[in-house]
Amino acid sequence: MTPPSPAIGVLALQGAFEVHARRLAELGADAILVRKPGQLAALDALVIPGGESTTFLKHLERTGFYDVLNQFVHSKPAFGTCAGCILLAKEVTNPHQPSLGALDIAVERNAYGRQNDSTILTAETSLPGGSLEMVFIRAPRITRISNGIEVLAKRGDSPVLVRQGHILASTFHPELSDDPRVHQLFLDIVRSSTL
């Protein structure tokens, strides 16, 4: 018997949500664009895409989304990319801003400077299948991780793909590369936590 497709929401308030939804659907998930807080109750997991974390925060606070989202990410699988990673982090600097704190890391926003606004790198990863292409766009840098964090890839000395239990985060945009391994990992996390 085929297992049912997990219902994975993609927060669609702003930013790069369509490409995530397409990738998740290609991998067999039921991908749902999420625009209202009431939609979260029906989901198994959520992707928080890249974009601008300050704009996300404004939307979330204005629409009464923040508290529901906060509860969600503390109990169900969530995957944050770039601005999504910033929202999930425990501590944000440059400048300081509120965050959901579901992932015990500190991030520095826009950490690679204007000259390096956008970079494509290939680096080693512990994901099976060899090195991984990573697209960085005004990326944050992870400056601190706690003991419970698993580092799956690095850019130089800085972690760029991390996992803490049901939370996955990348400072790059895996939805912009053809390689589906990062989304596949998230689906595996979702499937193993909804069994």
Residues that bind ligand GLN (CB under 6 A): 50-53, 82-83, 86, 109-110, 137-138
State the DSSP string of 70-124: HHHHTTS-EEEETHHHHHHEEEEETTT------EEEEEETTTT-GGGSEEEEEE-
| Cα 174 to Cα 22: distance, rounded to the nearest angstrom | 12
Length of the chain measured in residues: 195
| Cα 154 to Cα 117: distance, rounded to the nearest angstrom | 18
Q: Has 173 been annotated as catalytic?
A: yes
Q: Which of 138/181 has CB closer to ligand GLN?
A: 138
Instruction: Tell me the closest approach of the beta carbon of residue 52 to ligand GLN, in angstroms.
Output: 5
Active-site pick, 20, 82, 85, 183:
82
Q: Has 85 been annotated as catalytic?
A: no
Q: Which of 53/125 has CB closer to ligand GLN?
A: 53
Q: Which of 50/77 has CB closer to ligand GLN?
A: 50
Q: Has 82 been annotated as catalytic?
A: yes
Instruction: Tell me the closest approach of the beta carbon of residue 99 to ligand GLN, in angstroms.
Output: 11
Q: Which residues have a catalytic role annotated?
A: 82, 173, 175
